Amino acid sequence: MNDALRPMAARPRLYEQVLDRLRAYVAEGGLRAGDRLPTERDLAARLGVSRASVKQAIVVLEVQGLVEVRHGGGTYLVRDGLDVAEPVERLVERKKRLPDVLEAREALETKLAELAAERRTDENLTALRAALDRMAEDIGAGGLGIEGDRLFHAAVTAAAHSTLLAAFMREIDEPIAESRTESLRQPRRPGRSLAQHRAILTAIEAGDGRGAAAAMRRHVRSVAKVRLLEWDPDSSSTGT
């Protein structure tokens, strides 16, 4: 899909421009925690925009915890700058260049599988089996088993009962979903993937943490391999 003709960058938003100016102003002026920003009226006048727009920008800084607004007292910096710690999300965006994501996935899911083997409840096992059944059924009908695959990994994550690891997984959820689709499109891949899932489930059922971890590692690595063979650094993904 030749997407040569751009998504047409959308950012007229005035408050975003105000935000940029404010960040620049604070950076250049070397303002530090506790320093006071100019008043809203002053900013509005100097930037040549309405106070409402300045206010919108300040509200953004406020919810990001970068600034403290005191009614009648002024607006003060909470930290030294106005830059937000680069959100993992954006990193994920840039690093959709999959290799990084797959490394992270291996690190997280290997441990998740181990924990799942040690902590799974009966409901967890039911969910895992249901996911596999669904995948098998779909593949039997000529499908790729994508939804079952997704459900299985989600069930493993749930069975590990680790909110922190689960939170990390959520952060790379989207790129993983994409890689899943491409991977399962490979010839004979759905069947092999199903077999690997069965191995993981068997280890989890047996309460074999090491085995589950090893099985999951093999699975994730084979996905990565398949995916990387197809990887063309020039073509970005097609969809939304």
| Nearest residue (CB) to DNA, 10 versus 229 | 10
| Interface segment toward DNA; rule CB under 7 A; list 38-46, 79-87, 162-170, 228-236 | 38-46
- Does residue 41 interact with DNA by CB under 7 A? yes
- SS3 of the chain: the string is CCCCCCCCCCCCCHHHHHHHHHHHHHHHHCCCCCCECCCHHHHHHHHCCCHHHHHHHHHHHHHCCCEEEECCCEEEECCCCCCCCCCHHHHHHHCCCCHHHHHHHHHHHHHHHHHHHHHCCHHHHHHHHHHHHHHHHHHHCCCCCHHHHHHHHHHHHHHHCCHHHHHHHHHCHHHHHHHHHHHHCCCCHHHHHHHHHHHHHHHHHCCCHHHHHHHHHHHHHHHHHHHHHHCCCCCCCCCC
Residue 169 beta carbon to a second copy: minimum distance, rounded to whole angstroms? 10
- Does residue 52 interact with a second copy by CB under 8 A? yes
Interface residue with a second copy, options 23, 95, 129, 189 (CB under 8 A):
95
Residue 178 beta carbon to a second copy: minimum distance, rounded to whole angstroms? 15
What binding mask, one character per residue, do residues 10-49 give for a second copy by CB under 8 A, x or -?
--x--x----------------------------------
| Nearest residue (CB) to DNA, 61 versus 112 | 61
- Does residue 61 interact with DNA by CB under 7 A? no
Residue 10 beta carbon to a second copy: minimum distance, rounded to whole angstroms? 9
Residues that bind a second copy (CB under 8 A): 12, 15, 52, 55-56, 59-60, 63-65, 71, 85-86, 88-89, 91-92, 95, 100-101, 103-104, 106-108, 110-112, 115, 162-165, 167-168, 170-172
